[in-house]
């Protein structure tokens, strides 16, 4: 007998018919002789609908109240799924995040897990129940309800698996596993049988939506056996592990893209020690993540530099820069939208020179300008205009030999959490 944590996203439980199919899938796992804990997201577009309703009432609703509101979506899902499982003659019990023992920091909308006390979960499992836990949510030591941000249910599942020493954590989605790129763009994308934590973390950070970066970090730190598979069939999924065997001849494992990108440029900054520390320290204090940073040459004691932030953080970043203008004089600040960051990832890149040059060549042949570049041992990222995203992804996928003859089946709409 093994202990499984199974996570189902919003599209997997998007309506009562899908809810019943998931319930049968969970019961099948218990019938195999295993203990089962389940983490589930809100049904379909429930969270987006709740956000829309809040914005009809206020342009800037209080973040505390938004967390109170958005956690209700998962509570609906866990109760309905528990009802569906009980209707199949099995014993199931549902827990909110805080009932399951998730404690978090006091940061509404993007809280991180600080501790887990899974005693109630373990007790219910020992009594033979299937345990259903609401993803994406926890509670502070002061009793405030918090949410983990987008992708939070993945993190809930992996963290729960670590806390209860689960043998496997299975993430169920609408495709058969992790693919070499978004199968909605490239229909003949390659399914990866296995991928390393490091490669998966890069892909997740670079925009691949199949797993959230925090979940991968948690899995790597706690050595959780992580499997990504489809909720619509029983095909073998993708195993995320410490080291994955490299397929012969495949240097690039995956291609990711991120549309949530804005570039901000600061022109005419005095080239003196401490300037960059002040700028990026102030952005960090405002919880704004900065990605790629590029500084141009120095002329007349002045320098220009550009950096990227999430498009959703652009306005806040501009306000921060305006607030520090007295301490860091500059001539002007400009920003640019309609950008996309395209990245190639592969553990084999470190020992194969010319991989980046090939990427630049493919992009140039599509008459696309590269605005910024960032590299590491296992990835190369380019920021380009968004207009030819599809063409660039397809061309890179072909250039690195990732095309297959198989057509990917996508079972439902894209999961949001």
Binding site for ATP: residue ranges?
7-10, 173-174, 179, 184
Classify strands 262-270 and 302-309 as parallel, antiparallel or unpaired.
antiparallel
CB 372 within 8 A of CB 383: yes
- 180 CB-near residues (< 8 Å, 6+ apart): 186, 189, 190, 191, 192, 253, 254, 255, 397, 402
CB 368 within 8 A of CB 392: yes
- Residues at the binding site are 7-10, 47, 74, 173-174, 179, 184
Bridge partners, residue 9, by sequence? none
- Residues at the binding site for substrate are 47, 74
Q: Which of 359, 355, 361 is nearest to 378 (CA)?
A: 355
Tell me the three state secondary structure of residue 112. coil
- 298 CB-near residues (< 8 Å, 6+ apart): 271
Q: Which of 91, 184, 203 is nearest to 192 (CA)?
A: 203
- What does the block give as tokens for 266? 């600061």
- What does the block give as tokens for 121? 């979960």
Complete DSSP assignment for 294-350: EE---BTTEEEEEEEE-GGGHHHHHHHHHHTTTTS--SEEEEE-SEEEEEEE-GGGG
Bridge partners, residue 267, by sequence? 332
């Amino acid at each position: 007998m093994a202990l499984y944590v199974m996570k189902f996203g919003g599209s997997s439980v998007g309506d009562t018919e899908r809810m019943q199919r998931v319930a049968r899938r969970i019961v099948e796992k218990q019938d195999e002789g295993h203990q089962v804990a389940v983490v589930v997201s809100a049904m379909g577009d429930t969270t987006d609908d709740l956000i829309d309703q809040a914005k009809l009432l206020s342009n800037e609703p209080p973040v505390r109240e938004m967390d109170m509101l958005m956690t209700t979506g998962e509570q609906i899902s866990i109760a309905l799924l528990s009802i569906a499982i009980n209707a199949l003659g099995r014993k199931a019990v549902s827990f909110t995040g805080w009932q399951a023992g998730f404690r978090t920091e006091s940061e509404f909308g993007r809280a991180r897990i600080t501790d887990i006390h899974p005693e109630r979960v373990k007790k219910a499992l020992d009594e033979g129940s299937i345990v259903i836990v609401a993803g994406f949510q926890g509670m502070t030591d002061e009793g405030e309800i918090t949410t983990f941000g987008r992708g939070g249910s993945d993190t809930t599942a992996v963290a729960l698996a670590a806390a209860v020493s689960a043998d496997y954590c299975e993430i169920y989605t609408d495709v058969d596993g992790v693919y070499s790129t978004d199968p909605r763009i490239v229909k003949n994308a390659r399914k990866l049988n296995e991928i390393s934590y490091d490669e998966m973390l890069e892909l997740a950070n670079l925009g691949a939506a199949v797993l959230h970066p925090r979940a991968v970090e948690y899995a790597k730190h706690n050595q959780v056996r992580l499997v990504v598979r489809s909720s619509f069939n029983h095909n073998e999924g993708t195993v995320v592990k410490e080291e994955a065997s490299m397929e012969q001849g495949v240097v690039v494992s995956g291609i990711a893209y991120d549309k949530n990108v804005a570039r901000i440029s600061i022109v005419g900054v005095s080239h003196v020690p401490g300037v960059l520390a002040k700028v990026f320290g102030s952005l960090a204090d405002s919880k704004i993540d900065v990605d790629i940073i590029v500084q141009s040459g120095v002329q007349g004691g002045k320098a220009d530099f550009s950096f990227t932030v999430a498009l959703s953080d652009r306005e806040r970043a501009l306000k921060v820069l305006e607030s520090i203008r007295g301490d860091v004089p500059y001539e002007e600040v400009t920003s640019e939208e309609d950008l996309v960051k395209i990245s190639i990832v592969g553990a084999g890149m470190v020992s194969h020179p010319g991989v980046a040059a090939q990427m630049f060549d493919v992009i140039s042949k599509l008459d696309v300008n590269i605005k910024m570049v960032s590299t590491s041992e296992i990835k190369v990222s380019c920021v380009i205009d968004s207009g030819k995203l599809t063409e660039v992804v397809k061309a890179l996928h072909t250039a690195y030999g990732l095309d297959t003859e198989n057509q990917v089946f996508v079972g439902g709409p894209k999961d949001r959490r």
